Amino acid sequence: MNPPFGGSGPAGFRPHETGVLTTAPRLLRVLVIEDNPGDAVLVREMLRDAHDATYQLHHATRLREGITHLLNQGADCVLLDLSLPDAEGLTALAQLRNVAVDTPVIVLSGRSDETIAVRAVQEGAQDYLIKGQVDTRLLSRSISYAIERKRAELQLAHAALHDGLTGLPNRALLLDRLGQALTRLGRRAAYVAVLFLDLDRFKVVNDSLGHDAGDRLLVDVAMRLSSDLRGGDTAARFGGDEFVILCEEVEGEREAIAIADRIAASLDAPFRVGDEEVFVRTSIGIALASGGGVRPETVIRDADAAMYRAKERGGGACEVFDDGMRERALQRLEHEHRLHRALHQHEFVLHYQPQVRMTTGVVAGVEALVRWEHPERGLVPPGDFISSAEETGLIIPLGAWVLEAACRQSAAWAHALGERSPVVSVNLSARQIAHPDLVATVAEVLERTGADPATICLEVTETAVMQDLEAAVCVLNEVKALGLTLAIDDFGTGYSSLRALQRFPFDTVKIDRSFVSGVQDSEQAAAIVSAIVSLSHALGLRTVAEGVEEVGQVERLRALGCDVAQGFFYARPTPASNLDSLLGL
């Protein structure tokens, strides 16, 4: 934007700085755009006689020439003839305002086209004069008036587009600048980043120190934000304690995050409000846009959504919402497609990990753990695809397949080993538990495979059953009625493990690896394991320690009374055929 009134020359009149218009003498630079030499001379002579100011006049005969002068030298006021060789009437005014919206314009018109002159004022000219009806006094007064009026207009426009408290641009102005930035982006491989900031503890400050202190803090925050900006970026206040920063020419997510980190770090330093030192933290949501018809409102909404997620994570954090989000949604679809195909092409296999009775060393059970035998990637662990199978719903057919394969294996072991055959544990996901067909599926699979329900244990996590407690209680009771056993997996990692124990008909508690791994060195972990074991025993439940890796852990767990152990110390998950000798086949 041009400086207001184009006052950039050495003697340039800068009304914003002096704030005084009435004191003479002063130097005013007037640009006359007029193709009629006679009229131009007339203006020059009138201004030469003026007393209230000294006028420095520049004369252009074409609009182009006038605009060039305005862009290079500026002017305090323009006198514009409405019939020029290269522009007619209101078009001339519009073109002029395009390049110098801050410069006051007085339209010069002939007697015959006074109506156009009036229209010109409606379209943004500050005043009009009819040629032949002008004298020195009228002209110099009109110039003064035009300058004053333009200044008032600019002030009003500023107030409409800025936040009254902090002086930062407001929502309307930011949306406008964002729209322009998106247009400028065009097809270039750069991004516009929008950072949505929300102060985490502002309400506390406002409530405890009072409104004035709150206002003071917002002003200080605004000042820090502005001083941290890179040239060309815009910080805006959206009301309350919400600020939005618009950054252009951002290379990508990493750079946007770096900017957010810098801002967060600068706001981390304490603020002084009165006698108090106040700390604010900020949650920042980032949205990146790469042009291509994105609406400014959409980008703001995405950044806002990302900010909410940052807040959900406990605040003081930064989250990115970008095109990648959409990409991730597409990726999910692709994953679903791939998993579907893998299921169809029999690429999933089960490995089994032994569970060893601690007193006798006998293999009491095995846990079935699914793997994907990927034609190119090799053996893919469940951590890489279970959550995506959950999200896409593919866990339902995949889980049914796992159950069936495990039951078939169990039936085979029962056939070969009789009484000595191991209990086979199968993991159920939250989505499977919530699925209305679960009980029917389990019943069908038992029927089809001929597996003895007593040799099948279903493992569920507390988080999975607590999502819809009542429904899960119902379903798991029905499963139990079919004759299967139930285990609670990852015990101790949730918030309501004890409540889960109380509400569900579990037979087995699987003590989470995080406690097992600390059982030797941490008295706290040992105490937790000890408590879980005695609680379980008091409720008539069996305990299985997960993730046992070292002999020291085995000894400690045995001493604490744990019944069964599972882990790399005994065996890694392996195909059923590798377990023959361990099972005594």
**Residue 208, Ramachandran bin (φ over 0: left; ψ between -120 and 50: alpha; else beta):** alpha
The only residue of 144, 421, 427, 449 in contact with Ca ion, by rule CB under 5 A: 427
322 is a site residue for Ca ion (CB under 5 A): no
Residue 146 and residue 105 in contact, taking contact as beta carbons nearer than 8 Å:
yes
Provide the CA 323 distance to its chain's centre, in angstroms.
11
Spatial neighbors of 463 by CB under 8 A, at least 6 apart, are 430, 494
Phi, psi of 134 (to 5 degrees): -115, 140
**Residue 568's binding partner out of ligand C2E, Ca ion, none, with CB under 5 to 8 Å set by partner kind:** ligand C2E
Residue 451 and residue 413 in contact, taking contact as beta carbons nearer than 8 Å:
no
**For residues 174 and 571, which CB has a smaller minimum distance to Ca ion in the complex?**
571
Segment contacting Ca ion by CB under 5 A, of 29-37, 80-88, 378-386, 481-489: 481-489
**Residue 465's binding partner out of ligand C2E, Ca ion, none, with CB under 5 to 8 Å set by partner kind:** none
Q: How far apart are CA 35 and CA 584, in angstroms?
A: 109
> Which residues of this chain interact with ligand C2E, rule CB under 6 A?
353, 369-370, 381-383, 386, 399, 402, 427-429, 459, 489-490, 547-549, 567-568, 573
Q: Which residue has the tokens 């009789």?
A: 418
Residue 446 and residue 403 in contact, taking contact as beta carbons nearer than 8 Å:
no
**Residue 169's binding partner out of Ca ion, ligand C2E, none, with CB under 5 to 8 Å set by partner kind:** none
Q: In sequence order, which ranges of 345-394 are alpha helices (DSSP H)?
A: 386-392
The only residue of 127, 198, 489, 563 in contact with Ca ion, by rule CB under 5 A: 489
**For residues 427 and 497, which CB has a smaller minimum distance to ligand C2E in the complex?**
427
Is the previous residue joined to 575 through a cis bond, with omega within 30 degrees of 0? no
490 is a site residue for Ca ion (CB under 5 A): yes
**Residue 279's binding partner out of Ca ion, ligand C2E, none, with CB under 5 to 8 Å set by partner kind:** none
Q: How far apart are CA 381 and CA 358, in angstroms?
A: 28
Distance in Å, CB of 403 to ligand C2E, minimum: 8
**For residues 7 and 382, which CB has a smaller minimum distance to ligand C2E in the complex?**
382
**Residue 370's binding partner out of Ca ion, ligand C2E, none, with CB under 5 to 8 Å set by partner kind:** ligand C2E
**Residue 33, Ramachandran bin (φ over 0: left; ψ between -120 and 50: alpha; else beta):** beta
**For residues 40 and 548, which CB has a smaller minimum distance to ligand C2E in the complex?**
548
**For residues 173 and 350, which CB has a smaller minimum distance to ligand C2E in the complex?**
350
Calculate the alpha carbon distances from 368 to 149, 167, 339, 437 in Å: 82, 64, 19, 21
Distance in Å, CB of 573 to ligand C2E, minimum: 5
**For residues 10 and 383, which CB has a smaller minimum distance to ligand C2E in the complex?**
383
Write the binding mask 536 to 575 for Ca ion: x where contact by CB under 5 A, - elsewhere.
----------x-----------------------------
Question: Which residue is nearest to ligand C2E, using beta carbons?
Answer: 567
For residues 551-566, one letter each, b for 16 or more C-beta atoms within 10 angstroms of the residue's C-beta and e for the rest, the string is eebbebbeebebbbbb
**Residue 285's binding partner out of ligand C2E, Ca ion, none, with CB under 5 to 8 Å set by partner kind:** none
Distance in Å, CB of 429 to ligand C2E, minimum: 4
Neighbouring C-beta atoms of residue 102, cutoff 10 Å: 18
Distance in Å, CB of 569 to ligand C2E, minimum: 6
**For residues 34 and 490, which CB has a smaller minimum distance to Ca ion in the complex?**
490
